[in-house]
Structure 1
Amino acid sequence: MTIKAVLFDFSGTLFRIESTASWLRAALDATGLALADGEFGRAVAGLDEVGALPGGSTHPVEVPAHLAGLMAVRDVDAERHRAAYTGLAREVPLPDDRLYDALYERHMAPEAWRPYPDALDVLTALRGRGIPVGVVSNIGWDLRPVFVEHGLDPYIGTYVMSYRHGVQKPDPRLFTAACEGLGVAPADTLMVGDDRHSDAGAADIGCAVHFVDHLPVTQRPDGLRPLLDLL
């Protein structure tokens, strides 16, 4: 099989969200609020436990029963995405209601995200080989400013975001749209992602699939680099 194009997932693959502590600190700063050390630590632990930070969890989270249905379709549109994650955050008592919206707004800020250390090198190498790249993400907001802010946008030929299509991975329509956007056949395309359920949907249209581990940036310095050997 000759790979003529590569599709990447966003969160946990090319980029990783900041820590829960950093996320909460930024929301506090944005609202001019403060928490005592003990309160801050308890809030961080609580937000971690319920998986309130989008893209932050590296372990299975037990979703509260009253939010399970919403979480299952959270990436279908922007409204449900916001409702799902602010709903999770509201499971944790915080001293001011403004913090829940501030937390959601913060996770969409480009400065809340960091590319994995080898992301730029891998994208540069793909461009050097003449291999076009697309991004396919289950998400409820426009992630393109994150790529622009971190200098990776010039390497991306097409973005396919679930909320703009009304379906979410593993629905094959998203991968088909990405292949069409790059002008390549699925059989000539490699999908790279961290979710063995959602990203595996690319195989249903004939793409090859390669998985990476969803880890903090400091713990995965070269997780993307091995895919170059596959090409």
Structure 2
Amino acid sequence: MAAVLFDFSGTLFRIESTETWLRAVLTEAELPLAEPELLRTAHALDRVGALPGGTHPVEQIPDELAHVWEIRDKSAELHRAAYTGVARQVPLPDPALYDALYDRHMSPVAWAPYADAAMVLRTLRERGIGVGVVSNIGWDLRPVFREHGLDSCVDTYVLSYEHGIQKPDPRLFATACAALGVEPPDALMVGDDRRADGGAAALGCRVHFVDHLPVAERPDGLRPVLDLVG
């Protein structure tokens, strides 16, 4: 392998819990909720899939949002509309909180790298293997990498909203391979989503999947990548 392409959320980084996310926004807005109500609200937000990078919706996406939800990663506007839209199914004490919640999830402090992410990325760098991040996303994740000291380990970022296409569209993976100067068969795609990240196989990339788990539950899920690249 001459290059490794990584997904972002659930692969290299994990978003904070829905409870932490909601608590931080309520604290910032100085809008206290009684603890039982806060926990019920966090659970409800979790069920509708309101936290980008969090759990998938358990509740059915409302009909009026279904189309936007399917293409949410194609632009910043669609991404915000989709996630604030599903969040509005859950009553909050102030309507401004829906946008505040969305804004919070884009903050670097809301994200934590998996325990072995830095080691794997730095080892790849030392071996001279190109690294790209290919993500379905509606905002610029580069500040997250900078905040955690990992930006120097990434050679290129290919973000769906910057190209108007989303995984599993093979054009995103092709763009990353071209930026790294490698042919697809010489690249490994690492991700947590079988459908989206598996789209790289259509180009001839090798694909390796990791489990989208809380950081504490996946201490060494990325280490096998080093063996796969040889």
Aligned partner of 1:182 in structure 2 is 180
Secondary structure, aligned partner of 1:218: helix
Pick closer, same or farther for the CA change 1:61–1:222 going to 2, 3 Å.
farther
Secondary structure, aligned partner of 1:192: strand
Letter in 1 for 2:224: P
When the two structures are aligned, how many residues end up with a matched partner?
229
Aligned partner of 2:112 in structure 1 is 114
Q: Pick from 155, 160, 172 the counterpart of residue 170 of structure 2.
A: 172
Where do residues 136-151 of structure 1 align in structure 2 (5 Å cutoff)? 136-151=134-149
Q: Percent identity?
A: 67
Matched, 1:79 2:105: no
For structure 2, the residue ranges without an aligned partner over 5 or more in a row are none
Q: Deviations over 1:26-50 (max 9, x none)?
A: 1112222111112101101100110
Pick closer, same or farther for the CA change 1:59–1:77 going to 2, 3 Å.
closer
Secondary structure, aligned partner of 1:141: coil
Matched, 1:30 2:32: no
Aligned partner of 2:94 in structure 1 is 96
| Matched-pair contact (CA < 8 Å) for 1:78–1:141 | yes
Q: Deviations over 1:1-50 (max 9, x none)?
A: xx000000000000000000110011112222111112101101100110
| Matched-pair contact (CA < 8 Å) for 1:30–1:102 | no
How far did 1:59 drift?
Answer: 7.3
Letter in 1 for 2:204: G
Aligned partner of 1:132 in structure 2 is 130
Pick closer, same or farther for the CA change 1:53–1:166 going to 2, 3 Å.
same
How far did 1:58 drift?
Answer: 6.0
Distance in structure 2 (CA, Å) of the matches to 1:137 and 1:152: 16
Distance in structure 2 (CA, Å) of the matches to 1:202 and 1:62: 28
Letter in 2 for 1:130: G
Matched, 1:50 2:48: yes
Distance in structure 2 (CA, Å) of the matches to 1:29 and 1:60: 27
Distance in structure 2 (CA, Å) of the matches to 1:122 and 1:159: 17
Stretch of structure 1 that moved more, 161-170 or 24-33: 24-33
How far did 1:65 drift?
Answer: 2.6
Distance in structure 2 (CA, Å) of the matches to 1:58 and 1:104: 16
Secondary structure, aligned partner of 1:117: coil
Aligned partner of 2:226 in structure 1 is 228
Distance in structure 1 (CA, Å) of the matches to 2:185 and 2:9: 24
Matched, 1:152 2:150: yes
Distance in structure 2 (CA, Å) of the matches to 1:221 and 1:59: 26
Distance in structure 1 (CA, Å) of the matches to 2:79 and 2:124: 32
| Matched-pair contact (CA < 8 Å) for 1:31–1:98 | no
Pick closer, same or farther for the CA change 1:198–1:24 going to 2, 3 Å.
same
Q: TM-score, normalised by structure 2?
A: 0.97
Q: Pick from 37, 40, 43 the counterpart of residue 38 of structure 2.
A: 40
Secondary structure, aligned partner of 2:74: coil
Distance in structure 2 (CA, Å) of the matches to 1:195 and 1:60: 17
Q: TM-score, normalised by structure 1?
A: 0.97
How far did 1:98 drift?
Answer: 1.1
| Matched-pair contact (CA < 8 Å) for 1:108–1:141 | yes
